[in-house]
Amino acid sequence: MNRRLFCSIFIAFFVNILFSGCTTHNAVMTFNKEADRTVQTGFEDLKAIVVYDSWSGNTKLIADEVASVLNCPSVHVDSAGECVMEDYDLIVVGSPVHGGMPTDKIDTFLSGLESVKASAVFVTYGAPLFGTLTANACLNSMEKKLHQTSLGRFKCNGFHKIFRTYPKHPDEEDKSEAARFAAGLMERFFYDDIQESKSLQK
């Protein structure tokens, strides 16, 4: 075997390993039981909003799914200035991961938030190999700006236009996981009320 052929096989093998994880289903959600929750409102009165940025539509898909479960508006960050954020009981913020960070617009939006009652964050990400690490770093940086008010976080893959990884993501499974995340947020939000009504039923 000549050297050129050997190198080609080696590179093909490496690229295959690098991208082999990039087609699998990989949505992950976690909830924060310690979050501050300074709201007292009933199921029917919950006023929530989803604010997102999205360059190629992936994060918007998840934002719309979360908003449909929360029965609330899904607003692009460019239009968020038209809403008075202090009026909302729950603010859910979504961003694509860009270099391990949220987009500049989402970062600026988060920095400008005052007196958040309850929040949650989500990202879509698509980098091979270190994608999960960058998504976690991005979620950490978003939650840091929300000062202990985040009830939960969600991440799933989104087709990366440059690397061509995770084609067709977010897919139906990602969307149903996002819906489950939104339902989990409601449960988290009304946790004390649910516990109370359970103990009353006993």
Ligand X SMILES: Cc1cc2nc3c(=O)[nH]c(=O)nc-3n(C[C@H](O)[C@H](O)[C@H](O)COP(=O)(O)O)c2cc1C
Contacts of 76 (CB under 8 A, 6+ apart): 51, 52, 53, 54, 60
| 167 belongs to the binding site for ligand X (CB under 6 A) | no
Q: Which residue has the tokens 């009026």?
A: 87
* Pick 37 or 98: Cβ nearer ligand X: 98
Map the footprint of ligand X across residues 57-76, applying CB under 6 A.
57-59
Half-sphere CA count of 75, side-chain side, radius 13 A: 20
Candidate segments 7-15, 94-102, 144-152, 180-188, binder of ligand X by CB under 6 A: 94-102
Q: Which residue has the tokens 């590179």?
A: 11
Candidate segments 43-51, 81-89, 139-147, 157-165, binder of ligand X by CB under 6 A: 157-165
The span from the CA of 179 to the CA of 158, in Å, is 16
| 55 belongs to the binding site for ligand X (CB under 6 A) | yes
* Pick 53 or 89: Cβ nearer ligand X: 53
| 21 belongs to the binding site for ligand X (CB under 6 A) | no
CB of 96 to ligand X, least distance (A): 3
* Pick 149 or 165: Cβ nearer ligand X: 165
**Secondary structure letter of residue 17 according to DSSP:** H
**Count of residues for the chain?**
202
> Which of 46, 71, 74, 47 lies closest to 62, judged by CA?
74
Provide the mask over 119-138, with x wherever binding to ligand X is found by CB under 6 A and - wherever it is not: -----xxxx---x--xx---
Joined together, the tokens standing for residue 37 give 């929750």
Q: Give contact residues for ligand X (rule: CB under 6 A).
A: 54-59, 96-100, 124-127, 131, 134-135, 158-161
